[in-house]
Each structure stands twice: as structure tokens, then as C-alpha cells.
Amino acid sequence: MAIYVKEDELVFHLQTKKTSYIMKVLDEKYLTHVYWGRKMTTPDMGNAQINRGICFAPINYDWRYSLDFVCQEYPVGCGTDYRVPAISAVYDDGSRTVELEYDSYIVISGKPKLQGLPATYVEEATEADTLEIILKDKVKGMKVVLQYTAYNELDVITRNVKVINESNARITLEKVASASVDFEHAQFDMITLPGAWGRERHIERNSLRSGIQSVESRRGASSHQANPFIALASKNATEDYGDVYGFNLVYSGNYSAGVEVDQLFKSRAWIGINAYDFSWILESGEEFQSPEAVMVYSGEGLGEMSRTYHRLYRKRLVRGRYRDEVRPILVNNWEATYFGFDEEKIVGLAKEAAALGIELLVLDDGWFGKRNSDNCSLGDWYVNKDKLPNGITELAKRVNEEGVKFGLWFEPEMVSPDSDLYRAHPDWCIHVTDRKRTECRSQLTLDLSRKEVCDYIVKAVSDVLDSANIAYVKWDMNRHMSALGSAGLDREHQKEMPHRYMLGLYDVMERIVSSHPDVLFESCSGGGGRFDPGILYYMPQTWTSDDTDAVERLYIQYGTSMVYPISAMGAHVSAVPNHQSGRVASLKMRGDVAMSGNFGYELDLMKFTDEEKEEVKAQVASYKELRTFVQSADMYRLESPFEGNTTAWQFISEDGNDIFAAYFRILAKVNMGIFRMRFVGLDADATYEVVGENKSYSGAELMNIGLVVDFWGDYQSRTWRLKKL
């Protein structure tokens, strides 16, 4: 049992393998936050906080206590706490003061499913316990259920919130955070993953300051520009030392995550759906379910926090066949041909792929409608007979005959104004009736808050998938929402559209994915514009970035690994000069970077020289060996590209027997001294063979002295595969 309740003092103590999370009800009313961090062995820990102050704030408790000074568990709006609220509501009489009082609790073995939303899960009830704390605004009949799940073997606590209207009148929610945590101090750095198209999830680390600091998306997608993740790290925290608190939202739409440092130097962290442009009407008896927040505490630095997220997401977020099976090595034709392909070109690529050992050919954008450029046909999911006269069925068959599986690109959430779909249903896109429909890449966003639109997508995509032997789908999404409006919602419900879109999207994905269990789905949004746990619940891998340059990818993949496992990251070798940066990196470095993810190629295989073909064959063969453990291995980040000219990381199989490590140097420098690869996490007394080199070393030597790395020239890399003897 991971949850202890001290009934007489109303203390709630959640325990994971190495952490404790403690709450206490104060004055039989107020649910306060007591502690989150390293595990406490005493199960009850009823020592509640005493927060007194003389700080110009209205009083709730006795003359010394205001909620403004108290560490709270789920703070409310328009009350006596002036910090960022977790929940704001407007009642039917127009009043906005919310008062939540403790009502009751229940403990559930295991982890209940979240209705209509993606979430982490358990396979056995013994893996976790769930606590529900019920709070009520008794005056207005609003019930708030705070749900916490503590995993036994992982240092993870998940949270979500359900709001139920138990009154006879309408309640309008204006904010419902998934989690809010108060810390008694603000001695933290905040780590975030900002970016842009082609530069996703770079790492920023900033000292907390007074006031609010936050990341958010108002784009209708989790976005390239920010990620629904923040971590609070103690000032001295490194990769393997110090306290780190991670917050990640299992959601793909608008979110906000941040911290407020208050007048008493306390800090309040929150994560949840963005209150910007959000409201949700609850009629009598209706309920609202928030997305799930995944909170990870590590007392051993950032690396351990990341590995905890990786394990959880690999095993208890991702579902289906490819959770446990190795992922195929693919070649995607996008950077090879863009829109300029025909059946013979694709079959030719498949033939070449087979000769190199590549297992899957993905036909990207341009196979449908009359699409020869990006200005038409999205929504018309039937084959472009000018390019593919024998259709997708025949093309897939011919690709299969070459010994290669066939995969296909879709962008189901979009419609081109120049499309049969748009001509038939001009009101099916997100728009405001009397305003210009603002296009991006000549396309509009379909309004997935509407059931009939979702049904159309499910049918259109399923029809294609059922018509041919399709083993893989790349699900793209290439614009953010603008001119927000839905023809399917009345005036009062317009602000529900962005969240209703997400619910529609998740429903569409669930229906398509569950009816095609053998298909491997890879999500994409102009590269990594929707790299979030919400999408990973449906699709086990994401195209990490449209920037395929090996050097750029060091930063992107390193930053992405802060939260997401490498089994989630699509990574391809592309042509040089690179199409995004113009850089000419060695084939070896391009291969080594891509092998630190879900490996593939994204170039014209026909253009390889004979020498390059031999190198590619060797890359493919070595990845086939590596992937049996690398895709499920623990990752250790050793040198950060954000701190210098070198990057290094290492992967250890779950049983500790297989190791893959890679060391990269971006630019050549002269007389820089010796570079060494110092391994971590090995068994000091064991002997390890360096595969392919006929050498072996003790774990102690590999960890303490390391192996010398010799580089010559720019864009260099070196990898090692170790086997424990």
C-alpha cells in the first residue's frame, strides 16, 4: 500500500519507491500541502506546517492565519490567497469567489482510467494506489475531486482533477489546473524546453525570481515553441546530484505551466490547461475532467528524473504492439523527392532500401487528391492517379514484393481551401463567420470539436488503411489554430472549442489506432511541434524535428531526452548539404546521431556512392543489433551540447549487460588536450568487451580512467558497444 491516512489528524501520506508526498487538512477545512521529496519512513508525518504572518491579508483561520501564507494543495480564485489559483469559476449569480473545504477521501487500489483523455496506466492493480480527496464549495454546490496515483516501483505521482456541478444552477469554469504544488522556499532553478520550428526543445535553466514565470501554449497544440514541462531543480543540481521536481502534462493543446514566487519567498508551481481563451460550462449534474499531470521527484539529479519519465512513458504510457516490439528501420521519401515522385521512383527506392537492409519505405506528402505542391488537396484522401496510376494498393504490393514494408503519410486534421472536402463543407474548418479565414501553408484546421468532422476523418483514413497493406502511418499536423470559432457551438460555448478539439482528436486517434493494432503510428507536427505525452499515448513515436542536420539534432535530441525516451524519437540520416542548415556532416556522425533514436534515412538512396552504400549497410546492421536493447535502455547524458563543443550519452540495457555510448565533437580544435569517454553505471568488478575491437576492460577502468577518443576534423563521432562478460 502506497497511501497512508492518519484519520484523527487527516494527514495523507503518499509513498513511491523513494519519495513521499504529504498533505494535511487544517482546521478541518483547508487541504494544505506539507511535503514532497525524499521518502519519509514514518508513515503518518502529521507535523503540519505553521504558517503565520502579518502580511496584509484577510484571515481564514484564527487571527494569525491567512490562506495567503499557507502551502496549499489546490488553491482557489477570488479568496484570501492572492497567489495564482488552481481553479476559477463563475457561478450563476455572477459571483467568482470559490471556497473549497475538505469533505472526504477514498483510496483505490490501482489506477482508474481517465474518461476521454490520454493517461499513464497500470497493468496490475498492485503497481499503484490512488487517493481521491473530495473538496466542496458547499455554498454553491461545486464538488472537486483531486485524484493522486502513487506508483510503487517508480518515483511518479500523477494527478488530475474532476469538477462536478452538484447544484441546480450553471457553473462556468474559467480555470482548472491539473496540479498545483507549494514549496516553502524558492531556492530553485526552473528548467524549460523552449524552441521554434526546426529548433525544438532546447534547454533553458533560469534562477527563480519574485513574481510569475511560466511557459504556455496558446496555439491549439503543445507546440515547437514550448513544451508542457517544467522542472524545479535545486541550485546545485546536476545530471547526477541534487533535488529535482518535474511536471509534465499529458495533453496536446493549450497549456500553462509555471511558478509564482511570493512575498514570503515561497514558490507555487502549477501545470494544466491554459486559462487563456478557455471556459467550460457545467450544467447541473455535469462534470469536467482535467488532463493528467505527471510529477516526478528525483533526489539524484536531472538524469534520474529523466530516466523515471522514460521508464514510465515506455512501459505505462505507450500502448499496443510497438510498446514492446523493436521499431523498423525506415526510409522516408520526403527529403529525397518532396512532391516530385511517381510509382517507379518509389518502387526503385524500395528496391534499394531492401539491398541496404532497410525494412520500411514511407511515402510522405503528395500521394492524394491533385497534390503536387502544398497548396491543395488536404482532406481529399484518395490517390493522385497522375502520380500513382495503379493506386496505393498496387504500390504497397510492389514495395512489399521488394521485401520492404510500406508506410503512408496523412495530415487528417487539415483541409485545403482548394479541395473537394472544403467545397462540400466550407463550415467544417475553425473559423469566425464574418472574418477572413487565416491560412497557414495554404491550409485551414478542421474543426474537430464537431462529431461529424471526426467521423469523416476516421472513415477517410480507415478506408485507405483498409485498402492496402500499410504497416506504418506518419500522422502530420502543419499549422496552429487562428480565428478561433466553431460553427458547431453556440455563442456561450465558443471558448470550449480548443479543448473540445483535443477531445475530438483523442477520440479520432483512439478509434483509428485501436482498429489498426498492427500499424505503427508516428506523429509529427512540422517535425516536433506536438511532442507530448498526450500524443504518445496513441502513437508510440514522434518525428523529433524537421531539422535533420546531425549537429542541430544533438541539441534537439539531448533536450527532448529531458522528458521523453529515445524510443519516442524519430531520427533519420539525411543528405548533405543538409536541407535545413546547409552543413556537410560526415555520414558516420549522421548515422551515430540517428542511431541514438528510432533510426532511419530520409534521402535519395540511389544517390549513394558504392563506398557510402557499404557504410550504410554497416550502419543498418549495427542498429539492428543495438535496437534490441537501446530502444528500452536507460539513458545517461554525459556531456551537454549546450555547454560546449562535445556531446556524449550512454545507454545501458535494463539487465546491465549491454551498453551503447556515443561521443560527438562538433568543430575541430587544435591542442585541446585529451578527450576521454568515461562510462557510468557499470559494475566496477565486471569485465566488459568492446564489441568489434577485440578488447576488454574492467568496469572500474571504463568508469574511472575511460577510453581515449581521437578525433580528426569537424563533425566527428565515436561510438562503443560494450558487452558484460
Active-site positions read 476, 546
| Nearest residue to 596 via CA among 561, 644, 642, 645 | 561
Work out whether 413 is an interface residue with ligand DGJ (CB under 6 A). Answer: no
| Nearest residue to 278 via CA among 451, 507, 484 | 484
Work out whether 200 is an interface residue with ligand DGJ (CB under 6 A). Answer: no
* Stretch of residues binding ligand DGJ (CB under 6 A), selected from 524-532, 577-585, 620-628, 665-673: 524-532
H or E segment and range at residue 137: strand 128-137
Nearer residue to ligand DGJ within complex by CB, 270 or 367: 367
Give the Cα-Cα-Cα angle 504, 530, 551 (nearest 5 degrees): 165
Determine which residue in the list 182, 476, 549, 639 makes contact with ligand DGJ, applying CB under 6 A: 476
CA 577 to chain centre: 30
Determine which residue in the list 247, 334, 456, 599 makes contact with ligand DGJ, applying CB under 6 A: 334
Q: Assign 302 to helix, strand or coil.
A: helix
Distance, in Å, from the CA atom of 277 to the CA atom of 73, rounded to the nearest integer, reads 25
Distance, in Å, from the CA atom of 112 to the CA atom of 106, rounded to the nearest integer, reads 13
Answer yes or no: are the C-beta atoms of 36 and 179 closer than 8 Å. Answer: no
Shortest Å, Cβ 476 to ligand DGJ: 5
Shortest Å, Cβ 339 to ligand DGJ: 9
Nearer residue to ligand DGJ within complex by CB, 478 or 631: 478
Nearer residue to ligand DGJ within complex by CB, 177 or 571: 571
Answer yes or no: are the C-beta atoms of 41 and 28 closer than 8 Å. Answer: no
Determine which residue in the list 313, 409, 501, 675 makes contact with ligand DGJ, applying CB under 6 A: 409
* Residue showing cell 475532467: 289
Nearer residue to ligand DGJ within complex by CB, 382 or 711: 382
* Stretch of residues binding ligand DGJ (CB under 6 A), selected from 242-250, 287-295, 521-529, 648-656: 521-529
H or E segment and range at residue 442: none
Determine which residue in the list 68, 304, 364, 547 makes contact with ligand DGJ, applying CB under 6 A: 364
Determine which residue in the list 68, 365, 522, 634 makes contact with ligand DGJ, applying CB under 6 A: 365
Distance, in Å, from the CA atom of 542 to the CA atom of 311, rounded to the nearest integer, reads 17
> Grid coordinates standing for 198?
526546426
* Stretch of residues binding ligand DGJ (CB under 6 A), selected from 30-38, 179-187, 226-234, 520-528: 520-528
Nearer residue to ligand DGJ within complex by CB, 155 or 602: 602
* Stretch of residues binding ligand DGJ (CB under 6 A), selected from 153-161, 392-400, 519-527, 685-693: 519-527
* Stretch of residues binding ligand DGJ (CB under 6 A), selected from 124-132, 208-216, 319-327, 523-531: 523-531
Shortest Å, Cβ 8 to ligand DGJ: 58
Work out whether 552 is an interface residue with ligand DGJ (CB under 6 A). Answer: no
**How many other C-beta atoms lie within 10 A of the C-beta of residue 240?**
16
Site string for ligand DGJ, 57-86 (x = CB under 6 A): ------------------------------
| Nearest residue to 129 via CA among 14, 290, 247 | 14
Distance, in Å, from the CA atom of 410 to the CA atom of 205, rounded to the nearest integer, reads 36
Work out whether 262 is an interface residue with ligand DGJ (CB under 6 A). Answer: no
Answer yes or no: are the C-beta atoms of 195 and 201 closer than 8 Å. Answer: yes
Shortest Å, Cβ 543 to ligand DGJ: 6
Q: Please tell me the count of residues contacting ligand DGJ according to CB under 6 A.
A: 12
| Nearest residue to 333 via CA among 352, 349, 344 | 349
Shortest Å, Cβ 355 to ligand DGJ: 24
> Grid coordinates standing for 113?
482510467
Nearer residue to ligand DGJ within complex by CB, 182 or 365: 365
Distance, in Å, from the CA atom of 522 to the CA atom of 542, rounded to the nearest integer, reads 5
Q: What is the CA radius of gyration of the chain?
A: 26
Nearer residue to ligand DGJ within complex by CB, 130 or 574: 574
Distance, in Å, from the CA atom of 287 to the CA atom of 36, rounded to the nearest integer, reads 29
Work out whether 537 is an interface residue with ligand DGJ (CB under 6 A). Answer: no
Find all residues with CB under 8 Å of 434, minimum gap 6, and list them.
Answer: none
Dihedral pair phi/psi, residue 705, rounded to 5°? -100, -45
Work out whether 531 is an interface residue with ligand DGJ (CB under 6 A). Answer: no
Binding residues for ligand DGJ, rule: CB under 6 A, are: 334, 364-365, 374, 409, 476, 478, 524, 526-527, 543, 546
